[in-house]
Amino acid sequence: MVPWFFAINESELDEGDKKPLLMEGNKILLLRQEGGFYAISNKCPHMECPLSKGDMEGYVIKCPCHDWRFDIRSGEFLDAKEITVPAYETKVDDGKVYVNLER
Amino acid sequence: MKKVVMYTLSTCPWCMRAKTFFREKNILFEYIDYDKADEATRKSILEDCMSHGEKMSFPFVKIGEDVVVGYDPKKYSSLLDK
Amino acid sequence: MDTNKRMEQFRTMFQRVIDPLGYKFSPDEEIVDFLLEQEVMLEKEKGSPFCPCQGLTGEREHDMKLVCPCIPFHREHYDAMRRCWCGLYVHKDVDDPDELVQISKKEFEASRNKG
């Protein structure tokens, strides 16, 4: 299986924005920050709240339910690095954004 | 007899055990359930806990002038005997 | 939602959070059941499964650090006790939770400053 899946066209997501996607049955949150694209699971590892409804500050997203904060680059929970939200590789090819759903 | 006053939560099993400890020893005590108290009382409990350098971790038990935070029957006994 | 069903969901979700932190549910099933039931009630009443043994102030920044499992926000203190404040969770190597005592914030800070 080829793990790279097409997500969106590069032009569909503005700098600093985020977009929840359903990719191969996975709830994915695609984010654009400082020009880069980042993909994490859209389910908070605490109580599965949708991170897409949370606020972003730089590379940090805050879960809307209980304010747990994650680094979108690594998926690490800032208050305990042992806990992570799954983070996926991304690549841009010819204006199209792809996500590697294999971790 | 030392006066025993405790701050508790209605949801906290250690608070229930603390109450049982004193009841079984036939020691009269007063208690306030923080979660059931009115706002002014809650504020005064918060201030009292903070003034002892503590957070609002329950049970918060005052035996005479001493304070025990948590369920600790050995400490309760030794302070009662002191 | 049915209380028992929600308690089971909490067990599943919280197990995933506490495991990488080195904690497990207390072997004291009675306490675990009681505490989880309180958390379901707290969630119904206040919107989140808050710690049943610590006081809320109504200030979001303070209270969110008391949503179960609150271990990440009180890690050093709980590691020193080898349990969380309410005793729902204990360190993985604890067989007898009754041998653990609660250490207050002030006592913990005093021992840390000495140590």
Asked whether at least 3 C-beta pairs link C and B within 8 Å, the reply is yes
Q: CA nearest C86: which of C95, B19, B32, C100?
A: C100
Q: Containing domain of residue A63, as a range?
A: 51-90
Number of domains in chain A: 1
Are B58 and C105 a contacting pair at CB < 8 A? Answer: no
Q: Are A64 and A18 in contact (CB under 8 A)?
A: no
Judge: A67–C64 Cβ closer than 8 Å, yes or no: yes
pLDDT tens, residue by residue, A8-66: 999 999 999 999 999 999 999 999 999 899 999 999 999 999 999 999 999 999 999 99
Q: What distance in Å separates the CA atoms of residue B73 and residue A75, rounded to the nearest whole number? A: 44
In a domain, A83, yes or no: yes
CB contact under 8 A, B9 and C41: no
Nearest to A83 among C20, C48, C73 (CB): C20
Point out the residue among B12, B42, B54 whose CB comes nearest to the CB of C104: B54
Host domain of residue C61: 3-114
Looking up residue C75, the CATH number of its domain turns out to be 3.90.460.10
Tell me: the pLDDT tens digits for C22-55? 999 999 999 999 999 999 999 999 999 999 999 9
Low-confidence residues in chain B, pLDDT < 70: none
Q: Are A82 and A60 in contact (CB under 8 A)?
A: no
Q: Which domain holds residue B35?
A: 4-81
| Set of chain A residues whose Cβ sits within 8 Å of the Cβ of C15 | none
CB A40 within 8 A of CB A75: yes
Structurally, chain B folds into a number of domains equal to 1
Residue C102's Cβ-side half-sphere holds a number of Cα atoms within 13 Å equal to 25
Residue A61 belongs to some domain of the structure: yes
Per-residue model confidence (pLDDT) at position A93: 96
* pLDDT of the residue at B9: 98
Is the residue at A58 inside a domain? Answer: yes
Indicate if ipTM > 0.90. yes
